[in-house]
Amino acid sequence: MNVDDLEWQLSNLGGVLPRIVDEILERGGLEVLVEAAREREDWFCAVGAARGLCAAGEFGRAWTVVEPFAASGWQPAVRVGSDVLLRWNRVEQALELAYPGGRGQASGDAWRDYAEALVRAGRVDDAIGVLVPCLRDRRVLRGLVEMTDGQGCDERVLEVLAPIAEEFRRDPTQCGVGDLWEVLPAQARVLERSGRVDEAIRLLGADVAARGYGPRNNVEFYAELLARHGRVEALRDLATGTQKSTAAVPYVKVLENLGRAGEAESYLRDLIASKHPGWYESALVDLLIRQGRFDDAIEAGRHTFDDLYDGNLLQSTMILLADQDQHSKALELTQGRSPEFLAENEAWLRSNRWWLMGEAGRAREAIEEIEALPASEVDDRELTIAWLLAQDSRVEQAIARLRPLPGNRAATDLAELLIRQTRFAEAVAVIPDVAAQREEKRHFWTDRTEQKEMAPTDSGDGWGDPWTAPNTAHSE
């Protein structure tokens, strides 16, 4: 078992994508995942197979799938392996696997996973004791709060959090202490779940007030805490003070939930009219679309639609409208854009237009538009046409279009279509294995580096990267 390959799969979503694994599992292709985990050493197939086998009560087979991965000592595999063993009621074996003490200098993640296994084995006090030395690691801190929820040990958790929180409060700028900002919302979260809401609000509110410069995440958590408990007045003070940019959205949503959407709208429009910096136009568009006021939402964002900078709300508005089945209104926004905007964004805009047409049942019309253009002017032409053919229920034609295309992305699109026809083994087979995917990506970055070295300038837009570029035709 090659740990470097496993790490690459996890960090690059390599091998068979998790969503492909999920589709195969949901449609009854469990045995194909078992085989792929064994033959291809595919990590995501192994995880899916273990999940499916455990759900069927076949814990021994699930362990057989996962054991070779876990034996490598790779932490994600150890975590999944111990989970399978715990489900199988092999508690001591699970704890032995999860224990990181014999694997050199263990990471905080390893100790967190071991503590979680202890909690599931009913040894909560031992789990807390294991984590205490590691609580300067934010992920361990977060794990402590999550794994002890509902375990009846909130006072003990608060006890171990207290000295770290006080250290942060004394001097949050001290080297190494600044990373502990998450201890403050962690404290408040435990207080809240133990029924001490007023204390949580008072404590975290004092921290937010004392550190106007402090982490935005803390202010956001405080605003959401106030919203969860209907503290509208305190939330309004936050949303109209120096923290308005962070507190605005929770404030708007709590007003909306109370049936005071008009008040929320007025609040946002006042901020926009006062030209306060922030994404208040985006919040207003979201609010109006949630209220079903689609034309008003479009008007609220329209002045940004030809903006060439980050404040442009065109795509987000189109997606929000599509989510509400307002495809025709979203499509209208692709028309009438300024020449300056089209000069930089025409390819992107066309791609979104064809995606919307496909979702709206106008796939044939979209294909005609694409085929009327020179092939050199359409990015991912064959992939887009194949997707539109599938949207038009011409799945076999789409499959035929995809088969000769090179690259992992085309293979993944092809696999999705084959899965629809329950051709699971064939779907997995068309996806390049990890070695081939790594080589494809290496070539991509090598070519891109050479192009940069040769080019006098570099736009750096990244839209040509098949591994990172958003695929609007496959928006989920």
Q: Quote the pLDDT of residue 310.
A: 80
Q: Quote the pLDDT of residue 311.
A: 86
Q: Which domain covers residue 378, as residue numbers?
A: 347-476
Residue-by-residue DSSP string for 67-92: HHHHTTT-HHHHHHHHHHHHHTT-HH
Q: Which two three-digit tokens encode residue 194?
A: 């133990």
Is residue 13, in this structure, part of any structural domain at all?
no
Any idea which residue has 């032409």 for tokens? 381
Any idea which residue has 């803390």 for tokens? 218
Is residue 12, in this structure, part of any structural domain at all?
no
Task: Name the domain count of the chain.
Answer: 1
Q: Quote the pLDDT of residue 466.
A: 28
DSSP label of 375: G
Q: Quote the pLDDT of residue 460.
A: 37
Is residue 452, in this structure, part of any structural domain at all?
yes
Q: Quote the pLDDT of residue 445.
A: 79
Is residue 424, in this structure, part of any structural domain at all?
yes
Q: Quote the pLDDT of residue 451.
A: 63
Residues listed for the chain? 476
User: How many CA atoms, within 13 angstroms, populate the side-chain half-sphere of residue 419?
Assistant: 26
Q: Quote the pLDDT of residue 462.
A: 33
Any idea which residue has 């814990």 for tokens? 59
Q: Quote the pLDDT of residue 455.
A: 58
Low-confidence ranges of the chain (pLDDT < 70): 102-105, 175, 178, 211-215, 277-278, 447-476
Is residue 11, in this structure, part of any structural domain at all?
no
Q: CA dist 403 to 229, 330, 406, 410, 427, Å?
A: 55, 32, 8, 8, 11
Q: What is the CA radius of gyration of the chain?
A: 26
With 0-12 / 13-18 / 19 or more C-beta atoms within 10 angstroms meaning exposed / middle / buried, residue 170 is exposed
Q: Quote the pLDDT of residue 214.
A: 53
Is residue 307, in this structure, part of any structural domain at all?
no
Any idea which residue has 């919302």 for tokens? 185
Which CATH number characterizes residue 463's domain? Answer: 1.25.40
Per residue in 344-357, pLDDT tens? 999 999 999 999 99
Cβ neighbours around 336 below 10 Å, total: 8
Is residue 83, in this structure, part of any structural domain at all?
no
Is residue 58, in this structure, part of any structural domain at all?
no
